[in-house]
Structure 1
């Protein structure tokens, strides 16, 4: 095993999404400082450019002895015209990863589909919400283009099946993998939300998994969001993702499979949350220190 631990701005409430009214979120320097102080070697990018660009980015990472682990890049993969329009922004994101990537520990552009209004309204998917064959043809063609562009930039992308997108459920993941050669990000929380099981997924896709996002989850919150069609913001504000050991993930079994396999690169701890007015200010850092302590059983 040659895995390294990273954490992500989403653990501190920093998304592309806006914060709740009245909540102040940490800036890039504070985020880097807290993640390093909590004991992680890497940091996920958060919104592209939030950590800086060029020399500013490299200096910030060096100042805190952090490597850039990767970062979220969603693209409208099922819409050919929209995908073409998104390519300039994608190329800029690839330039960002190139600027910040450590050759010994390369950043992984973490691709995902943008989904649709129908999918965003129904976390977990459901009947009538998947792509038809023509839609899959379009998505696969665009994934291959995105992968080729990343490789031309000297980067190896990975694909993140994500809630409220057209690659979410185990069947959709299988379809993506059958149609492309992109590596797979296994995210324990999003896989559960999509109706999968992390242990099954780790075994089933072992030869394609090249990036890992570790979340503990409260299934009751996920199930309520799915049943009511409340959407993903309710999942995040309702704290579906909790400190390691506090949810329903069989953490020991998941970690034994991960550490017993051939995984390399990054294991990114993500505890996606949208902080609320009245939260204790030190709560995010306290929880990420806790998560690092829990993982000392496998990562001393």
Structure 2
């Protein structure tokens, strides 16, 4: 296996769902933790969080990190909304280009994802039951993903697609359908697959030739089941502590990584431990706890990368 390990702002409570007004871990504080723990890269997080242009390149160089990828969420099954969202894709690609000017060893992968729906986000893992796409909407999703992928390639990057709880590509069957119709490879996210009742080890066998990016999460399935049984949606999942440090949940990390190594995976491994902090969080204690977890996570991957 020829892989690089990256951390992610979402592991420090910094992502699109961070509550308005909540204290957040500063970019430099996060990068210092990741560099000290032995990570080689970092995911983008919200556009602008790590800076732009020379500021971004200088920040990454200072901490000896490269940009691994970044989330670009698009309403793929709605043609009008998709067209309106394209400026956000172009903006993200400009940031990827800013980082690539430094000549990294490995280019970042713009990580495309579907926007899903409010109904699906309120019922993670049950999307096909509560809000199924009809055949015409699937065709729109396929066509718009192909179009987004072409835009990414025209900018000099290889796209990847992230299946995600609460979106229209969530379950193993939906991932199968997507991959059968779209020429964009897959980000395997172990945590979101578990939410959708998938098996990450089986996923490597099932889609291994199409996996070009890894998002690794461990999940406390008992806590996850408690949240979902109580009617919780994705916000409650992120707030609950269901995503835990490696070895504290139900992911068989060794089997997943051995299977990926056997396939000669060559790419970024992004460690994500999604957490949604509260507006009244003690940011110093929160930062320390997140740092402890990320050191555990990096050490757990040492046998493979």
Question: Into which bin does the TM-score normalised by the smaller protein fall?
Answer: over 0.9
Is contact 2:109–2:159 with CA below 8 Å preserved after alignment?
yes
Partner in structure 1 of residue 212 of structure 2: 210
Question: How many Å apart are 1:211 and its aligned residue?
Answer: 0.1
Question: How many Å apart are 1:229 and its aligned residue?
Answer: 2.9
Question: How many Å apart are 1:128 and its aligned residue?
Answer: 4.4
Partner in structure 2 of residue 178 of structure 1: 180
Is contact 2:18–2:277 with CA below 8 Å preserved after alignment?
no
Partner in structure 1 of residue 295 of structure 2: 289
2:275 equivalent to 1:273: yes
Partner in structure 1 of residue 195 of structure 2: 193
2:91 equivalent to 1:117: no
Question: How many Å apart are 1:278 and its aligned residue?
Answer: 5.3
Question: How many Å apart are 1:103 and its aligned residue?
Answer: 4.6
Q: Secondary structure of 2:132's match?
A: coil
Residue ranges of structure 2 left out of the alignment (5+ in a row): none
Aligned 1:63-142 pairs, distance under 5 A: 63-101=62-100, 102-124=103-125, 125-142=127-144
Q: Which has the higher helix share?
A: 2
Q: Secondary structure of 1:206's match?
A: helix
Using the alignment, how far apart are the partners of 1:294 and 1:120 within structure 2? 31
Q: Secondary structure of 1:138's match?
A: helix
Partner in structure 2 of residue 47 of structure 1: 46
Is contact 1:20–1:274 with CA below 8 Å preserved after alignment?
no
Partner in structure 2 of residue 250 of structure 1: 252
Using the alignment, how far apart are the partners of 1:140 and 1:225 within structure 2? 32
Question: How many Å apart are 1:131 and its aligned residue?
Answer: 0.9
Partner in structure 2 of residue 2 of structure 1: 2
Aligned 1:222-261 pairs, distance under 5 A: 222-261=224-263
Question: How many Å apart are 1:142 and its aligned residue?
Answer: 0.4
Partner in structure 2 of residue 298 of structure 1: 304
Distance verdict in 2 for CA 1:220–1:35, change over 3 Å? same
Partner in structure 1 of residue 31 of structure 2: 32
How many equivalent pairs are there?
298
Q: Indicate the RMSD between aligned Cα atoms, in angstroms.
A: 1.5
**Residues 102-134 of structure 1, C-alpha deviations (whole Å, 9 max, x = no match):** 453000000000111111111002424221100
The normalised TM-score by structure 2 is 0.94
Using the alignment, how far apart are the partners of 1:162 and 1:229 within structure 2? 18
**Residues 174-226 of structure 1, C-alpha deviations (whole Å, 9 max, x = no match):** 11101111010000000111121100101100110000011110112222333
Using the alignment, how far apart are the partners of 1:133 and 1:229 within structure 2? 29
Deviates more, 1:6-15 or 1:221-230: 221-230
Is contact 1:19–1:25 with CA below 8 Å preserved after alignment?
no
Residue ranges of structure 1 left out of the alignment (5+ in a row): none
**Residues 224-260 of structure 1, C-alpha deviations (whole Å, 9 max, x = no match):** 3333331111111111100100001112211211222
Using the alignment, how far apart are the partners of 2:258 and 2:209 within structure 1? 17
Using the alignment, how far apart are the partners of 2:222 and 2:128 within structure 1? 18
Deviates more, 1:179-188 or 1:221-230: 221-230
Q: 2:159 aligns with which of 157, 165, 168?
A: 157
Is contact 1:123–1:229 with CA below 8 Å preserved after alignment?
no
Distance verdict in 2 for CA 1:128–1:286, change over 3 Å? closer
Deviates more, 1:87-96 or 1:58-67: 87-96
Using the alignment, how far apart are the partners of 2:57 and 2:282 within structure 1? 35
